Structure formats: C-alpha cells, structure tokens
Amino acid sequence: MTQLLEEHMPEPRTRKVARLLSSGVWTHDHPLMAAEIEQLGLPAKFGVPDEERTLMNLYPQPRGRHDSVEAYPEAPILPGLPPGRESPRRRE
C-alpha cells in the first residue's frame, strides 16, 4: 500500500497512513468520509459529475430497507374434483 501512497505524500507519512488504513479502523460498517480523506491527505474527488447524475436520475432506486426474500403465501387448498374428473360429466 505504501507504493500507492508514495505518489501523493512524503515517505514517513506514507507509512503512517498505510498502517492506519490497514488497521481495521474503517470497514463496510464505518467507511471513510470526505473529511477523513482530506485529513489523511489522500487525493480524492467528491460529488458526481452532471452527466452521471442525469443518468442516475433516469433509474431511481427504492429508498429504505427491503426484504431480500419475498414470501408468497401458498394458494388455499380448495376442495375439488377427484383426479381424472377435471370437468363434470354430462348426463345423456
């Protein structure tokens, strides 16, 4: 990781930042925020370009939490005809 950071900061700082980034402070539950990225001196761009925002607006995503599995109740069991008797017999 230090090799990636060397392009953007001096070597002593590179080791400190690399150690901090790989220490488990930030996880999927606690991502790096813009202010933290700036404090670390990491190069980053914030925001979304207008073209990308326009495209994203064409496909809105639902807000809130949704179940990952949908449950469908079984169809009620109704009394029916015995097997082989799908239609009533006609009287002759």
Q: Let me know if residue 61 belongs to a domain.
A: no
Q: Looking at the domain assignment, is residue 64 inside a domain?
A: no
Residue 20 placed within a domain: yes
Instruction: Give the structural domain span for 24.
Output: 2-43
Residue 3: the pLDDT is 83
Number of domains in the chain: 1
Q: Tell me the C-alpha distance between 12 and 33, whole Å.
A: 23
Query: Is 33 among the domain residues?
Result: yes
- Token pair 């994203």 is found at 56
Q: Is residue 70 part of a domain?
A: no
Instruction: Tell me the pLDDT tens digit for each residue of 70-90.
Output: 666 666 565 666 666 666 566
Does the global pTM surpass 0.85? no
Token pair for 27? 């996880």
pLDDT in tens, 9-30: 888 888 888 888 888 888 888 8
Q: Which residues lie closer than 8 Å to 18 by C-beta, 6 or more apart?
A: 1, 2, 5
Q: Is residue 24 part of a domain?
A: yes
